[in-house]
């Protein structure tokens, strides 16, 4: 595919998601066709994807996320059903190692009683790791097969790494954020949650003339705590997206070198192998960081400052 496009077109193509959305009546498409009515179609250019607006769906991100999540559930449930203490298989030993590792990490981070946190940590770590690991598949293999063999359109957009799409990473982060709010209100009550936002980090005075400054301090506390609260899911999602997006970009740039002659192609092969080995650490570390930070945020949601 690199040989059929300029380097810029090749990079832009590999960074564009398969977008399905609604184009308005009268819209002129990439081939000159004018739509006679509002139509749901697959975008054939980045401009069409942009013009579809907020209602557009990244089909490849959604599809791979669901498929890889189902794959994780299938493997772990199958191992659980066939688990034996006599002669465990290699896969069972690996699964037990992962479960033990996540369980110990959660115990070291989360010191409250909630049977949901450890399974959630295991799900996040494995799911994010599998999605990240798709970045190790050569950038042209699956998109080339889908575009040329299945769809018959060499310019068909198809990304295979869900975590290089901010919609996926921020979507997971929003899920974590909603759980933070839920457990905060559940553990502290609505009044306790509001007090946490308005009475920390500066405790408003309750006696003397200082009471006159209480509303100001409460407003400052609310602004600081709200910004801090909102920044958690944003940083959580963007950290994962940024690291995987950068890794994908490097693989794409290396792939371009394969079409630049024998010597550069040979050098690209060495670079691709070296970066893939290093990237194994990146994809594992980012899955671990996402899991640990989620656990930390859940611990913060369970922490009641009034008890101290």
Q: Residue 302: is its pLDDT beyond 70?
A: yes
Has residue 259 been placed in a domain?
A: yes
SS3 call for 284: helix
Split at pLDDT 50, 70, 90, the class of 212 is confident
Residue 254 to residues 5, 241, 262, 284, Cα–Cα distance (Å): 15, 20, 14, 22
Q: What is the domain range of residue 66?
A: 60-307
Most confident of 63-77, 130-144, 214-228: 63-77
> Active site includes 235?
yes
Model pLDDT, residue 101: 96
Q: Which tokens in the block code for residue 81?
A: 């059903």
| pLDDT digits 0-9 by tens, 96-152 | 999 999 999 999 999 999 999 999 999 999 999 999 999 999 988 898 888 888 888
From the list 93, 97, 100, the residue with the least C-alpha distance to 79 is 93
Model pLDDT, residue 2: 45
Has residue 23 been placed in a domain?
A: no
Q: Residue 3: is its pLDDT beyond 60?
A: no
Has residue 222 been placed in a domain?
A: yes
Those residues whose C-beta lies under 8 Å from the C-beta of residue 148, and which sit 6 or more positions away, are 154
Burial class (CB in 10 A: 0-12, 13-18, 19+), 85: exposed
Model pLDDT, residue 277: 94
Q: Residue 1: is its pLDDT beyond 60?
A: no
Has residue 91 been placed in a domain?
A: yes
Q: Residue 290: is its pLDDT beyond 50?
A: yes
Has residue 32 been placed in a domain?
A: no
Has residue 53 been placed in a domain?
A: no
The catalytically annotated residue of 65, 184, 221, 243 is 243
| pLDDT digits 0-9 by tens, 150-167 | 888 877 899 999 999 999
> Active site includes 239?
yes
| DSSP designation for 149 | I
> Active site includes 243?
yes
Contact between 217 and 202 under an 8 Å Cβ cutoff? The reply is yes
Chain position carrying tokens 């493997």: 75
**Residues comprising the chain, all counted:** 308
Model pLDDT, residue 208: 67
Residue 42 to residues 16, 27, 197, Cα–Cα distance (Å): 12, 14, 44
Region of poorest pLDDT, from 72-86, 99-113, 219-233, 257-271 = 257-271
Between CA 158 and CA 180 the distance in angstroms is 34
- Domain total for the chain? 1
Split at pLDDT 50, 70, 90, the class of 210 is low
Has residue 26 been placed in a domain?
A: no
Contact between 20 and 57 under an 8 Å Cβ cutoff? The reply is yes
From the list 142, 173, 178, 180, the residue with the least C-alpha distance to 160 is 142
Q: Which tokens in the block code for residue 271?
A: 């670079």
Has residue 231 been placed in a domain?
A: yes
The catalytically annotated residue of 45, 114, 239, 304 is 239
């Amino acid at each position: 595919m690199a040989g059929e496009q300029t380097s810029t077109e090749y990079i832009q193509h590999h960074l564009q998601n398969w977008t399905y959305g609604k184009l308005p009546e009268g819209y002129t498409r990439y081939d000159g066709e004018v739509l006679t009515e509002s139509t749901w179609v697959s975008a054939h250019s980045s401009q069409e994807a942009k013009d579809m607006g907020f209602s557009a769906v990244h089909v490849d991100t959604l599809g791979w996320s669901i498929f890889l999540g189902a794959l994780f559930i299938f493997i772990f449930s199958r191992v659980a059903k066939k688990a034996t203490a006599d002669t465990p298989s290699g896969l069972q030993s690996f699964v037990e190692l992962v479960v033990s590792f996540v369980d110990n990490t959660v115990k070291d981070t989360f010191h409250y009683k909630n049977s949901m946190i450890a399974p959630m940590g295991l799900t996040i770590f494995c799911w994010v790791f599998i999605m990240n690991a798709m970045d190790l598949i050569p950038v042209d293999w699956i998109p080339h097969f889908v575009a040329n063999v299945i769809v018959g359109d060499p310019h068909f957009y198809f990304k295979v790494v869900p975590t290089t799409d901010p919609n996926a990473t921020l979507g997971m982060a929003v899920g974590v954020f909603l759980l933070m709010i839920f457990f905060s209100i559940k553990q502290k009550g609505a009044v306790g949650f509001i007090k946490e936002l308005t009475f920390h980090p500066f405790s408003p005075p309750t006696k003397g003339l200082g009471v006159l400054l209480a509303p100001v301090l409460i407003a400052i506390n609310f602004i600081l705590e709200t910004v801090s609260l909102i920044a958690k899911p944003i940083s959580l999602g963007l950290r994962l997206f940024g690291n995987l997006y950068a890794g994908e970009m490097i693989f794409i740039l290396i792939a371009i070198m394969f079409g630049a002659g024998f010597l550069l192609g040979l050098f690209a092969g060495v670079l691709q192998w070296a970066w893939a080995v290093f990237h194994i650490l990146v994809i594992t570390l980012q899955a671990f960081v996402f899991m640990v930070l989620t656990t930390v945020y859940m611990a913060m949601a369970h922490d009641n400052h009034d008890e101290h």
